Structure 1
Amino acid sequence: MKTIKQTYINELNIKKSEFICRLIPSTNEKQAKEIIKQISEEFKDATHNCTAYIVEDGEGYDDNGEPSGTAGRPMLNILKKNNLQNITAIVTRYFGGIKLGAGGLVRAYSKSVQNTLETAEIVEMEKYQTVQLIFSYTIIKNVDNEIRNHNLRIIKKEYVEDVKYIIALLDVKLLESIKSKLQNQIRIISLGEKFLEKQ
């Protein structure tokens, strides 16, 4: 899966109208809608805040008062053409007094998103299973060896009463191997799936 590394903003001026595109990483519809709401409120003085998003649990777009099919859908098409996911695009337009016509609007909103993508760092993501390992200080060396041997990713380490690691793995079967090697001296809690940058 490809997505953007961080938020990107780019401005485009066409016939005195200002188009400000924001591309924001987002993982689900709830998050995408919250981002859209926040930006739309922040720039409520704009003529339009048109949007498109593709996330894990769906996709959507909104022309926000522009003629139907001239803004949100073309923006979504650009995201799809670039094979992007987990991304929300918002183009804020300040009308400059010159009408662009339907074709001109489609081109303007498409170009606004495409130009911004050209400034963005695109990253390849993979879906990992994340788990928490809880174990005593006495077996840290053994656990570290197992993690190294299986080439697993450590996301977080915590040294409290027990040692707690959050690790990411592509194959859950590896956990059984770790568990049997450490003869149940380790507690494993599943934390679900998470997209992480490909290594």
Structure 2
Amino acid sequence: MSTPLDTLAAPWRHEEEIRKSRFLAQAAPVDSPAAALAWLDANGDPAATHNCWAYRIGDAYRFNDDGEPGGTAGRPILAAIDGQGCDRVAVLVTRWYGGIKLGAGGLARAYGGSAAECLRLAPRTPIVPVGHLALRCEFGELALLDARLREMGATVERETFEADGATLTVAAPLDALDSIVSRVVDLTRGRVRPRRLD
């Protein structure tokens, strides 16, 4: 089983000076590549020497060295995201050059280190894997089921109404699905039998 991952609970910033260059690492939770690129675009400083970045959203990832030697900025930032056990995160490290060259190893340490420290200090929230259930019920059971599902940490994502009842699509933490199914079957004395959609 893979290690549970975290995303950020809120955007975060971390600044440090490394051999007269100023590095500002900023990180934010993102839920799509488009959202990541929009956030990166909005938070870069056009007056800075470099705005290097990376994001990871599940299997989707990208990084950019923004003019630094290849592999010395974007890739170390992505490695910091992975190393800190984060997902659904974008990290931007902005550098204002201070006149001292850092060399390839120094750049990789500066960018990766700033990103890792920013993520280490940022408030996090665990990413909870979610599963889905479909269930069909009569109108008379709808209010009770809706209330009980919410008590069990489930969210009704869609309701479809027909002449004789409703069909619900429900999202809940993956590890709670089996107990939710049992509880619904008990509550309705077997009239409603949720089925897993994933």
TM-score (norm. length: structure 1): 0.72
Find the counterpart in structure 2 of residue 140 from structure 1.
Answer: 143
Q: Number of aligned pairs? A: 181
Structure 1: runs of 5 or more not aligned: 157-163, 194-199
2:14 aligned partner, one-letter code: N
Q: Within the alignment, does 1:12 sit opposite 2:2 as a pair?
A: no
| Equivalent of 2:102 in 100, 103, 123 | 100
1:11 aligned partner, one-letter code: E
**Could you list the per-position Cα deviations for residues 112-162 of structure 1 after superposition, in whole angstroms to 9, with x for gaps in the alignment?**
1122123112322112246899997996356434654xxx21559xxxxxx
| Equivalent of 2:52 in 50, 53, 57 | 50
Alpha carbons 1:28, 1:57 under 8 Å: kept: no
SS of residue matched to 2:72? coil
Find the counterpart in structure 1 of residue 153 from structure 2.
Answer: 153
1:21 aligned partner, one-letter code: A
Q: Distance in 1 between matches of 2:47 and 2:138?
A: 55
1:83 aligned partner, one-letter code: G
Find the counterpart in structure 1 of residue 161 from structure 2.
Answer: none
Q: Distance in 2 between matches of 1:107 and 1:142?
A: 54
Q: Distance in 2 between matches of 1:19 and 1:140?
A: 54
Structure 2: runs of 5 or more not aligned: 157-167
- How far apart are 1:67 and its partner, in Å? 0.7
Work out the percentage of aligned pairs sharing the same amino acid.
29
After TM superposition, list the pairs within 5 Å mapping 1:126-137 onto structure 2: 126-129=128-131
TM-score (norm. length: structure 2): 0.72
After TM superposition, list the pairs within 5 Å mapping 1:17-96 onto structure 2: 17-40=21-44, 43-96=45-98
- Quick one: structure 1 residues 101 and 139, their matched pair in 2 at CA, closer, same or farther if it must change by over 3 Å? closer
Alpha carbons 2:149, 2:155 under 8 Å: kept: no
1:80 aligned partner, one-letter code: D
Alpha carbons 1:49, 1:93 under 8 Å: kept: yes
- How far apart are 1:57 and its partner, in Å? 4.7
SS of residue matched to 1:153? coil
- How far apart are 1:103 and its partner, in Å? 1.3
Cα RMSD, aligned residues only: 3.6
Alpha carbons 1:53, 1:60 under 8 Å: kept: yes
